[in-house]
Amino acid sequence: MSFVGKIKNFFYGSNIDSLVLAGGFSFGTGDRQKYVQQGYLMNPYVYSAVNIITNAAKQVPFNVYRVTDQKAFSKYKSLPAYSNSGLSAKQAVLKERSMEEVEGTGINEVMKYPNPNQGWGEWFEAAIGYKLITGESFIHGIKTDSGNNAGAIREMWVLPSQFVEISATNVIEPVITGYELKIFEGLKLEPDEVMHWKYFNPSYDGTKEETLHGLSPLTAAFREALISNGTGDSIGSIMDNAGASGVLSLQDAGAMNEEQAKKLRDTYYKNYTGKNRGKIIITAANLKWQEIGMSPKDMQVVDIRKMSMRDIYAVYGLKSELGNDSENSTYNNVSEANRSLYLNRVLPELDTIRDELNRWLADSWNQARGTNYYIDYDISGIPALQDDMKLLVESIQKAWWTTGNEKRMFTGFGKRDDMDKIFLPTNIVPYEDDMLDEDAAKQILANYAESTNGN
């Protein structure tokens, strides 16, 4: 069996839940503190994967909108904005048709500075970071006590999720009764004071507390994180305690006495180690070299770590090209990996936090002020999706059934009073309700179909 096979057999054949590797990764069930301390803080690939996602996600701006067309808005929410094939033109048009962006609202202010210590970018990085590491994020909302905004959330604080416990009535169909931060002086919170953003957790271990927590991606990646940490320790041990890597001697061992051996050793260390490492030895003596150590390369440690990195990235939904995987890092591969990062990883995360912020933050303001605001993100400025945006704009420009203003608003231009019209393709004639009867409209469309050979 190869060295790689022996290493994997050792780790995979062991009882991982009880295995503790010195400086490595130890796992129990639901140990969120270990995910932070020994996962994110100790494993370079976990750290890298989490940071790639958080750095990409926090660059996407969130805005506040007023719903102006409830019917179109309902259709907008029911359609996906993207897929592997690209962005949805229909969903983009419905967004422009159903909402208008607003500024200066209480929601805008909270999202600009969620709390006195953080701006949106830093706050959002913490919120999504805890979720990626521990499987969940807990946001504590401080509400306005009185006045016109009574009950509206005015501050948002990200709690360290590895120290938050959940109280509930029972295991099956539980009703959450509160949250508690279990460090320092402690903090007990009511259910409506906390936004619990989490991943699906199918693990029912018989305790209502664990069942209510989100499932960390590291639960699935723990074997590879364990191997990666273990091989990292091995490399460090080799570098620190390598000892002699070989024996340099005369071909005729009996021809060298102790004094000659000491002189040869001193000459070698003086002339061929330290800053002189790598120089060629030139001598008239008949010497021989016997290797007695193994380098990290010979031990295939580098290959093991590379496989672990790819598996950890796969668990986080990332392509290994984003982690400088030299075997896959062509320009086209990296470009496609960046596109996949947003379509398959970042945008789904933004969808879920958008929904939670609307359920929790926006709703608190809508109820306090009697408004109809909606929080949504804007993908138009994402560099990795510019080719998709170009195709989307071209698709919308060809959609003659949309108004000029809908096209203008989507492409970043303001509305015009004379652009709330639909232009039919035939002679680019403005359509008015009282301009054509049904038969005339059918004839125009028939002429258009004939001129394009039915395409």
**Is it the case that residue 239 has pLDDT exceeding 60?**
no
Q: What are phi and psi of 254, to 5 degrees?
A: -70, -15
How confident is the model at residue 328, as a pLDDT?
Answer: 63
Average pLDDT of the residues of the chain: 78
Whether the Cβ atoms of residue 30 and residue 134 lie closer than 8 Å to each other: no
How confident is the model at residue 284, as a pLDDT?
Answer: 62
The closest alpha carbon to 79, from 90, 64, 70, belongs to 90
For residues 385 and 145, the model is more confident at 145
How confident is the model at residue 189, as a pLDDT?
Answer: 96
Q: How many CB atoms lie within 10 A of CB 337?
A: 21
Q: Residue 444: which pLDDT band, with cuts at 50, 70 and 90?
A: low
Q: Model confidence over 83-127: pLDDT tens digits?
A: 766 677 778 878 888 999 999 999 999 999 999 999 999 999 999
Whether the Cβ atoms of residue 46 and residue 225 lie closer than 8 Å to each other: yes
For residues 361 and 379, the model is more confident at 361
pTM recorded for the entire structure:
0.71
How confident is the model at residue 224, as a pLDDT?
Answer: 67
For residues 308 and 349, the model is more confident at 349
Q: Residue 394: which pLDDT band, with cuts at 50, 70 and 90?
A: confident
**Is it the case that residue 337 has pLDDT exceeding 70?**
yes
How confident is the model at residue 190, as a pLDDT?
Answer: 96
**Is it the case that residue 425 has pLDDT exceeding 50?**
yes
The closest alpha carbon to 93, from 341, 401, 345, 417, belongs to 401
Q: Model confidence over 183-227: pLDDT tens digits?
A: 888 899 999 999 999 999 888 766 666 778 999 998 887 666 666
How confident is the model at residue 175, as a pLDDT?
Answer: 87
Q: Residue 232: which pLDDT band, with cuts at 50, 70 and 90?
A: low
Residue 360 has what DSSP assignment? I
How confident is the model at residue 411, as a pLDDT?
Answer: 64
Q: Give the rounded percent of residues in the chain with a pLDDT score beyond 90.
A: 38
Residues 135-144 have a mean pLDDT of: 97
CA distance linking residue 375 with residue 63, whole number of Å: 6
Highest mean pLDDT among 10-19, 271-280, 348-357, 414-423: 348-357
Who's near 361: CB < 8 A, 6+ residues apart? 107, 110, 111, 141, 153, 156, 195, 375
Place of tokens 């006195």: 116
How confident is the model at residue 435, as a pLDDT?
Answer: 57
Q: Model confidence over 250-270: pLDDT tens digits?
A: 666 556 677 877 887 787 777
How confident is the model at residue 399, as a pLDDT?
Answer: 72
Residues 237-259 have a mean pLDDT of: 59
**Is it the case that residue 12 has pLDDT exceeding 50?**
no
Place of tokens 């290797």: 291
Residues 430-446 have a mean pLDDT of: 61
Who's near 215: CB < 8 A, 6+ residues apart? 135, 198, 199, 200, 201, 202, 203
Residues 371-390 have a mean pLDDT of: 86
Q: Alpha-carbon Rg of the chain, whole angstroms?
A: 31
Who's near 67: CB < 8 A, 6+ residues apart? 73, 98, 99, 372, 373, 374
How confident is the model at residue 243, as a pLDDT?
Answer: 44
Q: Residue 9: which pLDDT band, with cuts at 50, 70 and 90?
A: very low
Residues 12-16 have a mean pLDDT of: 39
CA distance linking residue 19 with residue 21, whole number of Å: 6
Q: Residue 336: which pLDDT band, with cuts at 50, 70 and 90?
A: confident
The closest alpha carbon to 198, from 213, 209, 211, 210, belongs to 213
- Residue 197's DSSP bridge partners are 137
**What burial class does residue 370 get, using C-beta atoms within 10 Å of its C-beta: 0-12 exposed, 13-18 middle, 19+ buried?**
exposed
**Is it the case that residue 17 has pLDDT exceeding 50?**
no
**Is it the case that residue 324 has pLDDT exceeding 90?**
no
CA distance linking residue 87 with residue 79, whole number of Å: 11
Sign for the CA dihedral angle at 12, 13, 16, 17 comes to positive
Q: Model confidence over 20-54: pLDDT tens digits?
A: 333 333 333 347 898 998 889 988 899 999 999 99
